[in-house]
Structure 1
């Protein structure tokens, strides 16, 4: 089953968080949330859009920090999980979950203070169209991540062929140019792919993560990274 079809299945939505962000996956969840917070900054009172919000991991987190946020996704099953999570956290009044197409966002130009997408562009069949739409509806900040071509992610894709797209730096640069956004910051992380961490107990995963982080801080760290976080501006 290809990535997009798999993603929209009801049973996948029900088990998505528990399978990916328990055990060693907690380290991934924590790092991704830190990447989003670092990129967007203080969010209290800000109007934010999340593309491919899934089960609302980031949507609910930002609402808890005071944001008014819209989460859009193609999967009704994922959105249902997100709504339940928002109600449980007591922030449902600050979140609107919408089913929709990220290539045709139902919002006017310059509508949001920030727009972001996590774990989306590896499944995007028309990335330029998606990023252009994200830039259109943002007043300034656009943030997203990619999986990298020259990394251990290549082996992961070979073992689990779900149609994930891996990006080179030159492809990302062309994508930014085509969408009319300017790069203002980039971080690169995870020499070991996500799937490796998810298989390990949290304590053992932390030991590998410590080594991974140490290597990432060396001169070769960026070249080995399987994930990149891109902070861009439309200004």
Structure 2
């Protein structure tokens, strides 16, 4: 997988949330969590696996909502950050952090109701194999996001330290068909790239986001969105 050494570094893990989800990045965090909750609701009592859980943004949110969640990640440093967030925290469901490889998930077939993978597919060397493995351990639902090829994301993609894979809608449709998944819903968002929001204060990011939502809400510009949130069902 791209950038594994970079991603697993201790200093990257310590600064990960602050660099990506503070300042204008708070708007990204809010929208991504909204997309996950909308796809999975009702969350309570669902058995969920999050692949590439990082510092636990989604795992903690889902556990607070009453789900039984396993967060899996290749980075011990990221997992440690996630475990620190659970200290002195009242969680309605259950939460376990586990180190593991997304290409060889350490679970039996049909083990989870839902499997999610956010901020993952742009790093995947073999997206079909990873999606097939996600499907294997899910008995109901797969939720993931992709960064889109024909969008502003491509402008700065080359500068990312760990590289990034961009997808067209047709490529994802083929992946779903090959892995025997049925698309339930897809949402497109963020005409402006994530990197711009992370680089500016929230006071400036908020009006830009409002403009982005106003223009992006028109179906004619959906194909220019930077990110898509996919909700698929196991057949």
Residues 25, 197 of structure 2: 8 Å contact kept: yes
What is the aligned partner in structure 2 of residue 151 from structure 1? Answer: 151
The 3-state SS of whatever aligns with 2:184 is strand
* Residue 211 (structure 2) pairs with residue 199 (structure 1): no
Kindly tell me: are residues 83 and 40 of structure 1, through their superposed partners in 2, closer, same or farther at Cα, counting changes over 3 Å?
same
Deviation of 1:137 after TM superposition, in Å, equals: 0.9
Residues 86, 92 of structure 1: 8 Å contact kept: no
What is the aligned partner in structure 2 of residue 176 from structure 1? Answer: 176
Distance 2:35 2:223 in 1: 19
Q: Which runs of 5+ in 1 are unaligned?
A: none
Deviations 1:56-88 (A, max 9, x none): 000000000111100100000000001111224
1:94-113 map, 5 Å: 94-113=94-113
What is the aligned partner in structure 1 of residue 71 from structure 2? Answer: 71
Distance 1:191 1:97 in 2: 33
Kindly tell me: are residues 123 and 88 of structure 1, through their superposed partners in 2, closer, same or farther at Cα, counting changes over 3 Å?
farther
What is the aligned partner in structure 2 of residue 27 from structure 1? Answer: 27
RMSD: 1.4
What is the aligned partner in structure 1 of residue 59 from structure 2? Answer: 59
Q: TM-score normalized by structure 2?
A: 0.96
Kindly tell me: are residues 92 and 42 of structure 1, through their superposed partners in 2, closer, same or farther at Cα, counting changes over 3 Å?
closer
Distance 1:115 1:88 in 2: 27
Deviation of 1:92 after TM superposition, in Å, equals: 9.7
Distance 2:228 2:219 in 1: 16
Deviation of 1:219 after TM superposition, in Å, equals: 3.0
Deviation of 1:165 after TM superposition, in Å, equals: 0.2
Kindly tell me: are residues 150 and 88 of structure 1, through their superposed partners in 2, closer, same or farther at Cα, counting changes over 3 Å?
farther
Q: Which runs of 5+ in 2 are unaligned?
A: none
Deviation of 1:143 after TM superposition, in Å, equals: 0.4
Distance 2:93 2:169 in 1: 39
Deviation of 1:97 after TM superposition, in Å, equals: 0.7
Distance 2:13 2:160 in 1: 19
Matched pairs, number: 234
* Residue 9 (structure 2) pairs with residue 9 (structure 1): yes
What is the aligned partner in structure 2 of residue 224 from structure 1? Answer: 224
What is the aligned partner in structure 2 of residue 163 from structure 1? Answer: 163
Distance 1:201 1:88 in 2: 30
Residues 117, 143 of structure 1: 8 Å contact kept: yes
Deviation of 1:161 after TM superposition, in Å, equals: 5.5
Residues 76, 99 of structure 2: 8 Å contact kept: yes
